[in-house]
A and B are shown apart, each in its own frame.
Chain A
Amino acid sequence: MDAITFSQVSKSHGAVRAVDRLDLTLATGQTVALLGPNGAGKSTAISLLLGLARPDDGVVQVFGQRPDQAVAQGLVGAMLQDGALVPGLTVREIVGFVRGLYPHPLPLAEILAVADLTDLAGRRADRLSGGQAQRVRFALAIAGAPKLLVLDEPTAALDPEARRAFWAAMRAYAAGGRTILFATHYLEEADQNADRVIVLDHGRIAADGTAAQIKARGGGRTVRFELGDQPAAALHLLPGVTALEIHGGTAILRTDDPDATVQALYSSGLTIRDLDVRGTDLEAAFLDLIGH
Chain B
Amino acid sequence: MTSYLRLEVLRMVRDRRFVFFTMAVPVAFYLLFAATSHGAGRDAATGLTAQVYLMVSMAAYGAIGAALTTTGSRLAAERQTGWLRQLRATPLSARAVITAKTLASMVLALPAILLVGVVAFTVEGVRLSPGQWIGIVALMWVATLPFAALGTLIGSLVGADAAQPVTLACYFSLSIIGGLWMPVSQLPSALRTISGWTPSNRFAELGRAIAAGHTPTATAGLVLAGWTVALATLATIAYRRTVAS
Residues of A within 8 A of B7 (CB): 89, 93, 97
With A84-B81, A85-B83 in contact, do A93 and B90 touch (Cβ < 8 Å)? no
By the criterion CB–CB under 8 Å, are A53 and B245 in contact?
Answer: yes
Per the bound structure, the CA–CA distance linking A82 and B85 in Å amounts to 10
Per the bound structure, the CA–CA distance linking A36 and B93 in Å amounts to 31
By the criterion CB–CB under 8 Å, are A89 and B10 in contact?
Answer: yes
Interface string of A94-111 (1 = CB under 8 A from B): 000110111100000000
Q: A140 on the interface (CB 8 Å rule)? A: yes
In the complex formed, the residue of B with least CB distance to A89 is: B11
Q: B92 on the interface (CB 8 Å rule)? A: yes
Residues of A within 8 A of B197 (CB): none
Per the bound structure, the CA–CA distance linking A47 and B89 in Å amounts to 9
Report B73 CB to chain A, min CB distance, Å: 12
Residues of B within 8 A of A51 (CB): 88
Per the bound structure, the CA–CA distance linking A78 and B15 in Å amounts to 28
Q: B78 on the interface (CB 8 Å rule)? A: yes
By the criterion CB–CB under 8 Å, are A102 and B10 in contact?
Answer: no
By the criterion CB–CB under 8 Å, are A52 and B81 in contact?
Answer: no
Q: A83 on the interface (CB 8 Å rule)? A: yes
By the criterion CB–CB under 8 Å, are B91 and A71 in contact?
Answer: yes
By the criterion CB–CB under 8 Å, are B91 and A72 in contact?
Answer: yes
Q: A144 on the interface (CB 8 Å rule)? A: yes
In the complex formed, the residue of B with least CB distance to A85 is: B83
Per the bound structure, the CA–CA distance linking A73 and B90 in Å amounts to 9
In the complex formed, the residue of B with least CB distance to A82 is: B82
Interface string of A261-280 (1 = CB under 8 A from B): 00000000000000000000
Interface string of A223-249 (1 = CB under 8 A from B): 000000000000000000000000000
Number of residues of chain B lying within 8 A (CB) of chain A: 21
By the criterion CB–CB under 8 Å, are B91 and A50 in contact?
Answer: no
Residues of B within 8 A of A140 (CB): 86
Q: A37 on the interface (CB 8 Å rule)? A: no
By the criterion CB–CB under 8 Å, are A80 and B10 in contact?
Answer: no
Per the bound structure, the CA–CA distance linking A103 and B14 in Å amounts to 29
Report A43 CB to chain B, min CB distance, Å: 11
Residues of A within 8 A of B86 (CB): 78, 80, 83-84, 137, 140
With A86-B83, A89-B7 in contact, do A101 and B91 touch (Cβ < 8 Å)? yes
With A73-B91, A93-B10, A144-B90 in contact, do A86 and B3 touch (Cβ < 8 Å)? no
Residues of A within 8 A of B40 (CB): none
Per the bound structure, the CA–CA distance linking A107 and B86 in Å amounts to 21
Report B99 CB to chain A, min CB distance, Å: 15
By the criterion CB–CB under 8 Å, are B90 and A101 in contact?
Answer: yes
Residues of A within 8 A of B85 (CB): 52, 80, 83
Most buried by B among A77, A81, A86, A97: A86
Cβ 8 A contact of B83, one of A72, A77, A81, A83: A83
Residues of A within 8 A of B89 (CB): 50, 52, 71, 76-78, 80, 150
Per the bound structure, the CA–CA distance linking A71 and B81 in Å amounts to 21
Report B83 CB to chain A, min CB distance, Å: 5
Interface string of A55-92 (1 = CB under 8 A from B): 00000000000000001111011101111111111000
Listed A/B pairs (16) with beta-carbon separation below 8 Å: A52-B85, A52-B245, A53-B245, A71-B90, A74-B91, A77-B89, A83-B82, A83-B85, A84-B81, A84-B82, A86-B78, A86-B83, A89-B11, A97-B3, A98-B90, A103-B91
